[in-house]
Structure 1
Amino acid sequence: MKHSLKLSKITKEIGPISHLYLPNGIYKENIVQNLQQILEKLKASNPSLDPSNKKNSEIKPVVFKCDECQDKGWLTSTVPIWHENFGDLIVCPSCKKSADNPEIIKKRIEYSNLEAMSHLTFENIQSKGNLEGKDNVEKFREALKVSKKYSKNPSGWLTIQGPNGSGKTYLAAAIGNQCIQNGESVLFMFLPDLLDRFRSVFQNPETFLYDDLLDQIRNYPVLILDGISKTNNSTWASEKILQILNHRNIKNLPTVITTSENISNLDPYLQSRLKSNNTNQLINTGNLKNTYFLQNNNFGQIPKSFKNFSFENFKVSGAQGSAAPQSVVSNLTGSLKTAKEFVSEPKDTWLCFWSDNTTGVGKTHLAVAIGNELLKQDLEVLFFRTPDMIDYLRKSNDPRNQLDGDSIFEEIKQSQVLILDDLGSGVITDWGKEKLFQLIAYRHDHRLTTIITSRKNIPLEATNQNNATASRIADQSIGICIEITAPNYRQYNG
């Protein structure tokens, strides 16, 4: 019965073998279709296999400049299958001797996928990078220095990390182009394109052997993978990436990786490979903090309508002008002085402006004025109206949205400067209260610069043993809470 099933399967795949078999494939006599019949069938389905075909007879043999590697620039190690270098690719020694040959260099560029980026070299790169700010310029210059050194003698791994548009791909391409000039064989792949190639080959195995493609990429002398990310990667895609990188890590093959994500946000297994030994280097082309918010509809940035809020246009007479009582003038003058002092040394400090259930007294004006001044110091500032932030975090954790809620929350928690406006207003769910506590507790414990405004009496709220959030905000060891007692400015100037 087992033989019958096998023959049935063969019959379905290549057609009835002979009239000596029944239609259901059951064996009748021990006669099979001979080889000549099979070849004739193949010729009919693929004319290129027929030597009598006139077109085939006109095809001229390909002439290679290097017979050893057929102009590919690399060879497969000829070692036994049990040898540790079995399957590895090595630079063709004949081609390397002729590294300056323009034709060979042209071929290497063609095979490398760098043809469209051959102009991206270290000679024409701007040393200050694409991002503004002293910190970003210094990071890029250091990244450029390390990249140049790596390109002269590629060894181990180099991970280039930074925000989109900061020059990661430029540096990676420049490394690849320099390696080609030095006689190395390079393969540059944008990760989504590589995964598309894998899917295409997997779905059409007759065009190319899937295992061959995987082996070539795993063993390429110098591999550059641009745009590694965990976003939108399926389990299948992640497995392919890890197969490639794990093999190259074990063999310690030169590998360059670019990513716009924090390493801590990537797959844990990949993290371990990027940090696994002393030969793996990590460089930054710019500050990654707030990357998400800098690229998504300005959410998290100071609103344009607040850009003109400054210390200079803050009125210490408040809404009443010259008619303001001295107590109001003194209160607003003291609040302004504290805000200016905060700007001079913001590190490790907190500041909270509160008013007892009143609005329009100048809390937000002072908080934003501080933020605008800190931006001038090249510090990264995130601004949120607290209820809006909680609502956004809730939506980002909805599986129906294409948002990474955990990564977004981490960016808020770790931001250099965070302004939380109108904390305590609106109705907040238990989930929102928990998220807000996690945020405040993290920044309190790590002494991260935080400015808060609230219509709640924060010092009074802090006396409630059940209000752990207010207790941390009112902690005098790291900051100060200031009550603003002025009347509503909008009522007088509406």
Structure 2
Amino acid sequence: MENLGDILRRITEQATLRNTDRLEDTSLGSLETAEVCDICQGAGWVSRAVPVGHPDFGQAFPCKCHELDDNSTQVESLRRYSNLGPLNRISFSQTRADGPLPDTISQQRFSKALSASVQYADEPSGWIIFTGPSGSGKTQLAVSIANHCIENGLTTFFIISSELLDHLRSTYAPDNETTYDVLFEQVKNVPLLVLDDLNTQYVSQWAQEKLFQILNHRFNAQLATVITVRGALERLDESLRSRIETAEDFSNVFQLGQYNTRLARRIGDIPSGMLRMNFTNFDHRGGSSSTSNQQASLEHALSSARKFAGRPDGWILLTGPHGSGKTHLAVAMAAESLRSGDTVFFAFVPDLLDHLRTTFSPNSSIGYDELFEQIKTAPLLILDDLGSESSTPWADEKLYQIMVYRHETLLPTIITTSYGLTEFRDDKSRIGSRLMDDLVVEWVPIDAPDYRAHRR
């Protein structure tokens, strides 16, 4: 069994040779070689030929060759095998306790993840997963775990998921000396695998299947695995996500950082022209043609909106015909929160879904997960004109995911809609079931004529 680090270096070298015209200037013999053990071929570990179900099935054991090495020799051998390269300098001692980001929430999250990482590195068991935006410290923690485990004598292998897939593909080249099976089996069975930047959003079906086979094997064999995901778990293929989310006693997920990029905040800004809408200029009389019942409806809506703005708690749902003042009151409530220094995400629902769709474009300047997470977790979210969007399974699912998260976490939410109770039951039953929870949602029906018509 050849050393996995040497396999990948040789594959990379061969791929380079195939893509250059100067073959005579490069020699495979220039790669550094060393005497390797006849038993493990330099890997430092072996697996036992036992049947499925045996306690040792899928486990790795130190090779006899390491029994003759002193500790420093073993560690140096493990470092060569690990594929960490220059990253072998990263350690917990060099890691800031509050992480790389300046905001309080990110620092608290990093501190919690760091503490868990140190415990995991001392006794690697199960999976530990770090999610979050770029620059939040995911790889720092993953590599620190890897180096700590190497110091403790555990065979560890680090690789970026995209590089792993490239190496697997290259084994099919006719001049490649490494077979697919050799590389694939070693990655599947290494005692500790650190898989950096796992992403299945923009990869082929073949690539998704390979990643699933590796992680499924490691899950079933209960092999220690460290994974980093740029963004939220939602960006992963459902089959991979199920391995992470359905085994709380086996895997621990830590979110680092916050999804609050400038572009996402700009998407959620209230248009400047709408900021003129406030409580003072809201017409609670509804025009000369309004009946006493309609005026009472407007006065009740104004009172409810003022109360919510004073202390945003739970959800408020403003229903009524177009032009009855729903959006005016929603913006007025948001303005009060903005004046208090709170963060508000305003979204006209059809535009919001368009923004989410465009994030899948290769040219998008913001990722889907970053925008989606900011919408889900906004301190105050306004969903304007719910029900006016094109109803597709994808759109309904995205809205439902937002609703479920905010409903379960009781995040303050303002919703305006021209839908009534019957329409929600018939057209959007899953969303409607959340809106009918009167312990969380205050329904505020507005029975008033279109105020725009009175200005004509």
Paired with 1:70 and 1:286, the residues of 2 have a C-alpha distance of 38
Structure with greater contact order relative to length (CA < 8 Å, sep ≥ 6): 2
Letter aligned with residue 444 of structure 2: C
Paired with 1:183 and 1:223, the residues of 2 have a C-alpha distance of 14
Q: CA deviation at 1:338?
A: 2.2
Query: In 1, are the aligned partners of 2:318 and 2:443 still within 8 Å (CA)?
Result: yes
Query: In 2, are the aligned partners of 1:463 and 1:471 still within 8 Å (CA)?
Result: no
Q: Secondary structure at the match of 1:224?
A: strand
Question: What is the match of residue 16 of structure 1?
Answer: none
Paired with 1:204 and 1:415, the residues of 2 have a C-alpha distance of 53
Paired with 1:415 and 1:250, the residues of 2 have a C-alpha distance of 37
Letter aligned with residue 369 of structure 1: A
Letter aligned with residue 281 of structure 2: G
Does the alignment pair 1:146 with 2:109? no
Structure 1's 442 and 453: CA in aligned 2 closer, same or farther, altered over 3 A? closer
1:115-150: CA deviation from partner (whole Å, max 9, x where unpaired)? 222232111212223445554433322211111011
Give the one of 72, 76, 99 matched to 2:46: 76
Q: Map of 1:96-175 to 2, 5 A cutoff? A: 100-101=71-72, 104-131=74-101, 134-175=104-145
Does the alignment pair 1:237 with 2:207? yes
Structure 1's 86 and 340: CA in aligned 2 closer, same or farther, altered over 3 A? closer
Q: Secondary structure at the match of 1:223?
A: strand
Paired with 1:228 and 1:307, the residues of 2 have a C-alpha distance of 42
Give the one of 308, 318, 321 matched to 1:352: 318
Query: In 1, are the aligned partners of 2:106 and 2:257 still within 8 Å (CA)?
Result: yes
Does the alignment pair 1:450 with 2:419? no
Does the alignment pair 1:90 with 2:90? no
Structure 1's 191 and 373: CA in aligned 2 closer, same or farther, altered over 3 A? farther
Does the alignment pair 1:318 with 2:281? yes
Question: What is the match of residue 255 of structure 1?
Answer: 225
Does the alignment pair 1:302 with 2:268? yes
Structure 1's 390 and 265: CA in aligned 2 closer, same or farther, altered over 3 A? closer
Gaps spanning 5+ residues in structure 1: where? 1-57, 321-326
Q: CA deviation at 1:217?
A: 1.4
Paired with 1:244 and 1:415, the residues of 2 have a C-alpha distance of 36
Letter aligned with residue 179 of structure 2: L
Structure 1's 69 and 373: CA in aligned 2 closer, same or farther, altered over 3 A? farther
1:196-221: CA deviation from partner (whole Å, max 9, x where unpaired)? 00001122463212211112212222
Q: Secondary structure at the match of 1:154?
A: coil
Give the one of 171, 187, 190 matched to 1:217: 187
Does the alignment pair 1:363 with 2:329? yes
Structure 1's 93 and 261: CA in aligned 2 closer, same or farther, altered over 3 A? farther
Number of matched pairs: 403
Query: In 1, are the aligned partners of 2:199 and 2:229 still within 8 Å (CA)?
Result: yes
Does the alignment pair 1:202 with 2:172? yes
Q: CA deviation at 1:403?
A: 11
1:270-318: CA deviation from partner (whole Å, max 9, x where unpaired)? 3443357676231313377xx5xx4694277432865996xxx986653
Q: CA deviation at 1:153?
A: 2.1
Question: What is the match of residue 28 of structure 1?
Answer: none
Identity across the alignment (%)? 25
TM-score by length of 2: 0.66
Letter aligned with residue 338 of structure 1: K
Q: Map of 1:28-39 to 2, 5 A cutoff? A: none
Paired with 2:342 and 2:365, the residues of 1 have a C-alpha distance of 33
Query: In 2, are the aligned partners of 1:167 and 1:285 still within 8 Å (CA)?
Result: no
Q: Secondary structure at the match of 1:150?
A: helix
Does the alignment pair 1:387 with 2:353? no
Paired with 2:217 and 2:188, the residues of 1 have a C-alpha distance of 6
Q: Secondary structure at the match of 2:383?
A: strand
Query: In 2, are the aligned partners of 1:151 and 1:176 still within 8 Å (CA)?
Result: yes
Question: What is the match of residue 33 of structure 1?
Answer: none
Paired with 1:397 and 1:193, the residues of 2 have a C-alpha distance of 22
Paired with 1:285 and 1:416, the residues of 2 have a C-alpha distance of 17
Q: CA deviation at 1:195?
A: 0.2
Q: CA deviation at 1:171?
A: 0.7
Does the alignment pair 1:341 with 2:341? no
Higher mean displacement: 402-411 or 389-398: 402-411
Q: CA deviation at 1:192?
A: 0.4
Letter aligned with residue 316 of structure 2: W
Paired with 2:339 and 2:80, the residues of 1 have a C-alpha distance of 50
Paired with 1:63 and 1:405, the residues of 2 have a C-alpha distance of 46
Q: CA deviation at 1:227?
A: 1.9
Query: In 2, are the aligned partners of 1:75 and 1:91 still within 8 Å (CA)?
Result: yes
Question: What is the match of residue 16 of structure 2?
Answer: none
Query: In 1, are the aligned partners of 2:198 and 2:227 still within 8 Å (CA)?
Result: yes
Paired with 1:70 and 1:474, the residues of 2 have a C-alpha distance of 63
Letter aligned with residue 189 of structure 2: N
Paired with 1:136 and 1:367, the residues of 2 have a C-alpha distance of 28
Paired with 1:475 and 1:86, the residues of 2 have a C-alpha distance of 50
Question: What is the match of residue 45 of structure 1?
Answer: none
Q: Secondary structure at the match of 1:298?
A: helix
Paired with 1:423 and 1:284, the residues of 2 have a C-alpha distance of 32
Structure 1's 273 and 365: CA in aligned 2 closer, same or farther, altered over 3 A? closer
Paired with 2:425 and 2:126, the residues of 1 have a C-alpha distance of 53
Letter aligned with residue 335 of structure 2: A
Give the one of 192, 200, 203 matched to 2:162: 192
